[in-house]
Structure 1
Amino acid sequence: MPAETHVEGSKPDRAGVLELVRNSLAEILEVEPSAISEGSSFDDLGADSLALIELVEALEEELGERTVGFHIDDEDLEDLKTVRDAVDYVTAKLGSH
């Protein structure tokens, strides 16, 4: 979508963010989304730092279409240890826009 047509769309709720994180992670890790729970740690899922970077890029791409300027800071990435951490972080970021 060209930048000039960027309009702030509807922000996903927490359940929508969870689904987005779960589906993105499932695609990156090549597992079924149902194998990923909110309490899953990235270590338990076998997600290495490269997988987390891919997750960030996927989230920024998807959410950037709905929320202009959505960005996940690299220094915040090390604090995200579980799927719940990621969902809470993204939900908080969306709320602050």
Structure 2
Amino acid sequence: MTSPSPSKETIEEFVVGTLVKLGLDRAELTLDASFDDLGVDSLHVTELGQAVDRELGIRVRAADLEETRSLREALAVIFAKAEL
């Protein structure tokens, strides 16, 4: 029996928490803030994808996230991978 997919809220909280652990400022991390303005680089994207896969069981590769430009866009990709 497979465990149920996490909710969108759980995923968003996890992603934000992961980005904060990677050094981003929580106060600046809004849904539409530009990843460029926040200083998100390819290493952040790679680590985020690995964390989502490892901790939430959602298969997300860095390549899936490399074209995203904001938290909203990254979450949309992750939600799609989770079939939410």
TM-score under structure 2 length normalisation: 0.82
Structure 1 portions without partners, runs of 5+: 1-6, 65-69
Q: Give the drift of 1:90.
A: 0.8
Structure 2 portions without partners, runs of 5+: none
Q: Give the drift of 1:80.
A: 1.3
Alignment of 1:1-97 (within 5 A): 8-31=2-25, 33-64=26-57, 70-95=58-83
Instruction: Let me know the Cα RMSD of the aligned residues.
Output: 1.9
| Bigger Cα Rg | 1
Q: In structure 2, do the counterparts of structure 1 residues 25 and 93 end up closer, same or farther at CA, with 3 Å as the change threshold?
A: same
Q: In structure 2, do the counterparts of structure 1 residues 44 and 24 end up closer, same or farther at CA, with 3 Å as the change threshold?
A: same
TM-score under structure 1 length normalisation: 0.73
Aligned length: 84
- Higher relative contact order, structure no. (Cα contacts within 8 Å, ≥ 6 residues apart): 1
Structure 2 distance, partners of 1:49, 1:92, is 21
Large movers: runs of 4+ above 6 Å: none
